[in-house]
Amino acid sequence: MLEWLIGKRRENTTPRVPATIMPEEVIALLEQGEKVVILDVRQQHEYRSGHIKGAQLIPLMELNKRLHELKKDATIITVCHSGRRSAQAARLLRAEGFTVRNMVGGMMKWPGKVVK
């Protein structure tokens, strides 16, 4: 896990899939019924304080051990409080062959409803 944190692991990026996505774009995708997975990488107490409906919780520090819980046939949108941890998660997932986008600004910029 430390390899990707310090940047020694090479990322597999697909030019057709931008690395980031704006919160408003996420709302549009969800409203259109697109097949996306919202992956919340915050800690459990942060998730309980308010999260995007249907978001799957896997804290960043557990992600490497729990990759098997994610499906590679859907686009994963990573989310955290501000976008920093989710950017790390997106790099890890991309290196493992997932299609992933990081939501810019995290939950701080989320204009939609939250579930508690």
Q: How confident is the model at residue 10 (pLDDT cuts 50, 70, 90)?
A: very low
Would you mind telling me the total number of residues written for the chain in this entry?
116
What pLDDT sits at residue 66? 97
pLDDT at 15 over 80: no
Dist. CA 22–CA 77, nearest whole Å: 10
Dist. CA 43–CA 25, nearest whole Å: 24
Taking CB atoms within 8 Å and a gap of at least 24, the contacts of 52-60 are 52/26, 52/79, 52/107, 52/110, 52/112, 52/114, 52/115, 53/113, 53/114, 53/115, 55/79, 60/85, 60/86, 60/88, 60/89
C-alpha distance across the termini of the chain, in Å = 30
At 99, list the tokens.
Answer: 């299609």
What pLDDT sits at residue 47? 98
Greater pLDDT, 13 or 27? 27
Give residue-wise pLDDT tens across range 22-76: 999 999 999 999 989 999 999 999 999 999 999 999 999 999 999 999 999 999 9
Mean pLDDT over the full length of the chain: 89
pLDDT at 18 over 90: no
Q: How confident is the model at residue 17 (pLDDT cuts 50, 70, 90)?
A: low
